[in-house]
């Protein structure tokens, strides 16, 4: 699984974590189910913040960069500042079935411990893979979501896997990408990690660390250019820094800078959304205390976190492009991959 660093390109200045992925945040795991056969090039990717997120909620936030999207669960996150669900990513028309699967999985988990699920806020993000996959078949359901959850790991594949299987980024093959940045605070190392589902952008605007390679790629593939930036990018930001929901929202907003560095201007038809959480707080469902005391970051010291979010988001998109492989869609559409033009990156 190549990354952009395998081409000798190192985005940003801050140090990456040991995996250079969202799972450098301790406890975070990622799982995929890929459906790549016949007319279906699609899947689901699930990000698990901790082992039991329903009973041990995380402080959370969400930022809508451009709202052309069908994401579920953001309203309650924005209202309460808490996350109680795994975050699942899939294609546009599968949001309802994946939502249902998260409900069933959580209901089953509650039943195993003698509880009963009465309310739950599943979080599902989506991008449209209908150019390469027959999206109307809606082939992602409980079996696929359960498998992604049960096989989740700190080590996970990137590129054309899971929800990223049929995605297109800057008119090249897109998919799943991830990166992380480490920041030192009060003598301790903390992590900001990003996972991006990349299905956005125009080839003409593609910027890879100052290399504007789109014109030459267009000349080689001789395809018709996409007239607008559309298709969506969902970014999931994780950290172990002690941030309030409001502070986390500020950090999430800086992911937009990462998208812009690669050349996206989040056009009218691009649903670009960041969902963020921190594992620093354990908001236990059984806590009866009326007043909760939690550590919160110094507001005047947030700048390094903003830079870390921008760098991790930028490299996540570049890693999705670097890890992807060419694909022929269900109707014969050919989607080239950045790896075919590696000579332009040297």
Q: What is the C-alpha end-to-end distance of the chain, expressed in Å?
A: 19
Closest CA to 278 of 148, 83, 120, 86: 83
The structure tokens listed for 63 are 């930022």
Give Cβ neighbours of residue 116 (< 8 Å, ≥ 6 apart). 110
Residue pair 82/60 in contact (Cβ under 8 Å)? The answer is: yes
Residue 264 burial (C-beta neighbours within 10 Å; 0-12, 13-18, 19+): buried
**CA distance readout (Å), 16 to 34, 191, 253, 308:** 27, 9, 20, 9
So which residues are the catalytic ones?
232, 270, 272
Determine the Cα–Cα distance for residues 134 and 115; give it in Å rounded to an integer.
Answer: 39
Closest CA to 236 of 82, 49, 54: 49
Total residues belonging to the chain = 346
Q: Which residue has the tokens 């189910």?
A: 33
């Amino acid at each position: 699984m190549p990354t952009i660093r395998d081409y000798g390109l190192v985005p940003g200045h801050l140090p990456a974590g040991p995996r250079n992925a969202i799972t450098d945040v301790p406890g975070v795991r990622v799982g995929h189910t890929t459906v790549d056969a016949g007319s279906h090039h699609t899947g689901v990717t699930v990000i698990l913040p901790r082992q039991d997120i329903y009973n041990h909620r995380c402080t959370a936030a969400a930022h809508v960069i451009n709202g052309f999207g069908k994401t579920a669960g953001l309203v309650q996150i924005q209202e309460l500042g808490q996350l109680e669900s795994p975050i699942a990513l899939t294609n546009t028309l599968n949001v309802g079935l994946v939502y249902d699967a998260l409900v069933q999985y959580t209901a089953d988990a509650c039943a195993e411990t003698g509880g009963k699920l009465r309310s739950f806020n599943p979080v599902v993000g989506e991008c449209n893979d209908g150019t390469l996959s027959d999206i109307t078949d809606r082939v992602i359901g409980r079996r696929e979501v359960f498998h992604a959850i049960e096989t989740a790991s700190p080590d996970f594949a990137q590129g054309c896997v899971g929800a990223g299987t049929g995605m297109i980024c800057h008119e090249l093959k897109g998919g799943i990408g991830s990166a992380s940045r480490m920041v030192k605070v009060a003598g301790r190392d903390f992590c900001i990690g990003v996972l991006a589902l990349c299905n956005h952008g125009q080839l003409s605007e593609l910027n890879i660390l100052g290399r504007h390679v789109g014109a030459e790629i267009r000349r080689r593939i001789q395809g018709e250019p996409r007239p607008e930036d559309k298709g969506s990018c969902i970014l999931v930001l994780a950290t172990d820094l002690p941030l309030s929901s409001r502070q986390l929202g500020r950090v999430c907003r800086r992911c937009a800078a990462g998208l812009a560095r690669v050349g996206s201007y989040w056009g009218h038809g691009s649903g670009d959304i960041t969902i963020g959480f921190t594992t620093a707080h354990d908001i236990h469902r059984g806590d009866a205390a009326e007043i909760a005391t939690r550590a919160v970051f110094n507001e005047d010291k947030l700048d390094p976190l903003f830079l870390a979010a921008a760098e991790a988001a930028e490299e996540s998109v570049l890693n999705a492009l670097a890890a992807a492989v060419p694909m022929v869609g269900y109707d014969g559409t050919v989607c080239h991959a950045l790896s075919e033009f590696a000579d332009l990156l040297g």
